Amino acid sequence: MTETHWHPVLRASKLKKKPRAVTFEGEKLVLFRTLNGVSAIADRCPHRSASLSKGRVIDGTVECPYHGWRFNGKGVCTHIPLAEGPVKNRLVRSWDAREAHGLVFVTRDAKAAGEIPAPTWDHQAQVSRIWKATHTRR
Ligand code: FES
């Protein structure tokens, strides 16, 4: 069994109004700002597999660019255009995400990962890689 830690995945200043795609443990995630902080969910719409990171953020939810389904920070579908009544059983996998030390951190399990540690030299190397990645990609 592997240990669970918080992992920095993006400079916080790079997460603005638009959702951002990142890779974490081999999975494609979309990061976005909710009304309560940052969230990380799978970057794949359960409807027709569009990339949610190409959508937009509306009222703390990420909207799929293809047909407009919206998902909250827990990956729950909260809106389907033209659908009436509550939305059921439309989930996207979610991860725990937090902003700290100028970075966005992600983990599989916030409770097991504990507190986000203050930056160390190990983090500095990872921060440097994130900085290079987010400043050389579009
Ligand atoms: S593919 Fe996302 S709403 Fe249809």
Structural domain includes residue 25: yes
Structural domain includes residue 2: no
Structural domain includes residue 72: yes
The reported pTM is 0.85
Radius of gyration of the chain (CA): 15
Domain with residue 46: its CATH number is: 2.102.10.10
Contacting residues for 68 by C-beta, under 8 A, at least 6 apart: 79, 80, 81
Task: Print the domain residue range for 35.
Answer: 7-134
Q: Which atom of ligand 1 is nearest to the CA of 67?
A: 3
Q: Residue 56 phi/psi, 5° resolution?
A: -140, 165
Which letter does DSSP use for residue 91 in this model? Answer: B
Please tell me which residue, 66 or 82, carries the higher pLDDT value: 66
pLDDT > 80? residue 55: yes
Report the pLDDT value the prediction gives residue 70, as an integer from 0 to 100. 95
Q: Which atom of ligand 1 is nearest to the CA of 69?
A: 3
Give me 86's structure tokens.
Answer: 């509550």
Return mean pLDDT, the chain.
89
Query: Structural domain tally of the chain?
Result: 1
pLDDT > 60? residue 1: no
Structural domain includes residue 1: no
Structural domain includes residue 19: yes
Nearest protein Cα to ligand 1, atom 4: 67
pLDDT > 60? residue 124: yes
Q: Which atom of ligand 1 is nearest to the CA of 64?
A: 2
The SS3 call for residue 121 is: helix
Pocket test for ligand 1, best of 30, 41, 47, 78 (most atoms within 8 A of CB): 47
Task: Dump pLDDT digits (tens) for 78-104.
Answer: 999 988 777 777 899 999 999 999 999
Would you place residue 122 in the very low, low, confident or very high pLDDT band (cuts 50, 70, 90)?
low
Pick the closest to residue 65 from 77, 78, 76, 49 (CA basis).
49
Give me 43's structure tokens.
Answer: 């970057």
Measured in Å, residue 50 CA sits from the centre of ligand 1 at 6
The SS3 call for residue 22 is: strand
Give me 100's structure tokens.
Answer: 């700290």
DSSP string spanning 26-75?
TEEEEEEEETTEEEEEESS-TTT---GGGSEEETTEEEPTTT--EE-TTS
Measured in Å, residue 20 CA sits from the centre of ligand 1 at 17
Would you place residue 117 in the very low, low, confident or very high pLDDT band (cuts 50, 70, 90)?
confident
pLDDT > 80? residue 123: no
